[in-house]
Amino acid sequence: MPVFSRVSARIRSFWTSSRGNTGIIYALAAVPVLLGAGAAIDFARYGAAQTHMQAAIDAGALAGGAMLNVADSARIAAAQAAFNAVIAKGAADSIDIDTDFKVENGVMLAHASGEMPTSFMRVAGISSMVINGEADVILASDKKAEVVLVLDYSASMSEVSGAKVKYVAMREAATSLVNDLAAANPGKVQFGLVPFSHHVYTTLPSGYVLGASGASWTGCTQDRKYPYNLTDATPGTAAATKWGQAIAPDHASWGCDGYKTNKLVVKPLTTDTASVTTQLAAMKPYAWTHIALGVEFGYHVLSPNAPYAGGASYSDTETRKFMIVLTDGMQTEPAFGPGTVRSVAQGESNLEELCKNVKNSGITVITLAFDLDDSSTRKRLQKCATNATTDFFVANSDTDLTQAFENIKLAIANQVYLSK
């Protein structure tokens, strides 16, 4: 066979051969797959850096805006120092960031931006991603605030949402809120905690608990009899007005001892920020879900009425009251209502009525649906919020929750620090 014919045959054989094609195809297909996976990693880094920068710029704005009777230059210096302290610990610490703090028309304005170098996306020609953060806080007046955190510690809070266990993400976000608000207005902000699941664990005067003796009683309780479980009225002599109602065994495997072991104790209002954050660090999930019970006790913690009596008068114009309610699930525990038998439906109805009463008392209610799929509960939480648009948050992951708490922090600051 002529040489040319042999060469032509070899070429035709190469192109028509199927041997090795699969390997080549997989190798070529792997390139976009690997690039996509790498881009996902870069976007995850971007999200973490963006959240970290926003937290830092929020802290800076709060620090500068909260100062009383100082020059603008001192506000700006304090804002920058607070920003630097936060940015040094987190995902954006190695990024070159430009900041801009200034005071205009009685408002502390803050902005930060930087470029995060990419890793895998460089292959596609994208060498960096821009991150931005901004915040504004109305300059402080001599206001006070009372904030109660009504937090779901039912067993489902041990599940993972995004990259973190849910109660850990909640703990971190709540701790940041407490620390930053307290630092922005030292001694002027009180905090309370109401960790709830299907009971709450608290200390009450014995006269307010059925069958209790001595000066005080400590233990687990459900709601009071209806309609007393919808108000912040102090228990009277009538048995129906008191806590510790006799009920059929509910979820008997979840005993009261678990609340004490998991540190799920109601904390009345206090300016002792360290004690609040210490308890947040110690609490762990336990048992079922009774949202209305949490709001019932949150109402009492903020109330000027006994049993806690730590709240300022509702007529005190210098004190703003806030209730932050977070849950990750629907009502699963029965409650007292107008019916003769406790039921979950009555618990849901009680939540709606309680929220009306709390808001009518002048308390700002902020609600969060955290990794919560039930649409009816979401709607109920949205309706519960003081403003359904600005005071209701949906967080589908740990990063969403962090951002929601940052927004809540600024919202509280702007209500507390209203200029006169």
Q: What is the pLDDT of residues 348-369, one digit of tens each?
A: 999 999 999 999 999 999 999 9
CB count within 10 Å of CB 412 equals: 23
Which domain-ending residue is among 113, 138, 163? 138
- For residue 190, name the pLDDT band (cuts at 50, 70, 90): very high
Closest by CA position to 285, among listed 312, 315, 263, 308? 263
Distance separating alpha carbons of residues 33 and 137, to the nearest angstrom? 45
325 shares a domain with 280: yes
Q: Is the peptide bond before 32 cis (omega within 30 degrees of 0)?
A: no
Say which residue, 183 or 227, is predicted with more confidence: 227
Query: Is the residue at 14 inside a domain?
Result: no
Helix (H) / strand (E) containing 376? helix 375-384
The predicted pLDDT at position 142 comes to 67
Q: Which residues of 352-363 are buried (b: 16+ CB within 10 A; e: fewer)?
A: ebbbeebeebeb
Query: Residue 41 pLDDT > 90, yes or no?
Result: no
What is the identity of the amino acid at 359?
K
Distance separating alpha carbons of residues 191 and 178, to the nearest angstrom? 8
249 shares a domain with 124: no
CB neighbour class for 168 (10 Å; exposed up to 12, middle 13-18, buried from 19) = middle
What is the identity of the amino acid at 51?
T
260 shares a domain with 194: yes
194 shares a domain with 308: yes
Do 224 and 240 form a contact (C-beta atoms < 8 A)?
yes
What is the identity of the amino acid at 22?
T
CA 407, chain centre distance (Å): 10
Which domain-ending residue is among 138, 166, 191? 138
154 shares a domain with 126: no
66 shares a domain with 196: no
In whole numbers, what is the pLDDT of the chain averaged over residues? 88
233 shares a domain with 347: yes
Helix (H) / strand (E) containing 152? strand 144-152
153 shares a domain with 118: no
356 shares a domain with 234: yes
Could you tell me the two tokens for 154? 């039912």
Distance separating alpha carbons of residues 62 and 65, to the nearest angstrom? 5
The predicted pLDDT at position 253 comes to 60
**Which residues are CB-contacts of 153 (< 8 A; sequence separation ≥ 6)?**
167, 195, 196, 197, 262, 264, 283, 284, 285, 286
Beta bridge partners of 18: none
* DSSP character string of 201-241: EEEEEGGGBTT--SSEEEEEE-PPSTTGGGS-PPP-SSGGG
Say which residue, 300 or 253, is predicted with more confidence: 300
Beta bridge partners of 374: none
332 shares a domain with 229: yes
* DSSP character string of 93-106: TTS-EEEEEEEETT
Please count the structural domains in the chain.
Answer: 2
Query: Residue 12 pLDDT > 60, yes or no?
Result: no
Query: Is the residue at 4 inside a domain?
Result: no
Return the DSSP state at 243. Answer: B
**Which residues are CB-contacts of 266 (< 8 A; sequence separation ≥ 6)?**
192, 193, 194, 195, 200, 201, 202, 203, 297, 301
Query: Is the residue at 68 inside a domain?
Result: yes
Beta bridge partners of 319: 144
131 shares a domain with 152: no
Query: Residue 33 pLDDT > 50, yes or no?
Result: no
Distances in Å between the Cα of 278 and the Cα atoms of 172, 177, 178, 219, 275 are 12, 14, 11, 21, 5
Give me the domain span that covers residue 126.
22-138
The predicted pLDDT at position 21 comes to 54
Which CATH number covers residue 201? 3.40.50.410
**Does residue 309 come out as left (phi exceeding 0), alpha (psi in the -120 to 50 range) or beta?**
left
Could you tell me the two tokens for 251? 């979820």
- For residue 420, name the pLDDT band (cuts at 50, 70, 90): very low
Closest by CA position to 187, among listed 83, 302, 281, 66? 66
151 shares a domain with 126: no
Q: What is the pTM of this model?
A: 0.76
List pLDDT tens digits, range 289-316: 999 999 999 999 999 999 999 999 999 9
Q: What is the average pLDDT across 39-57?
A: 87
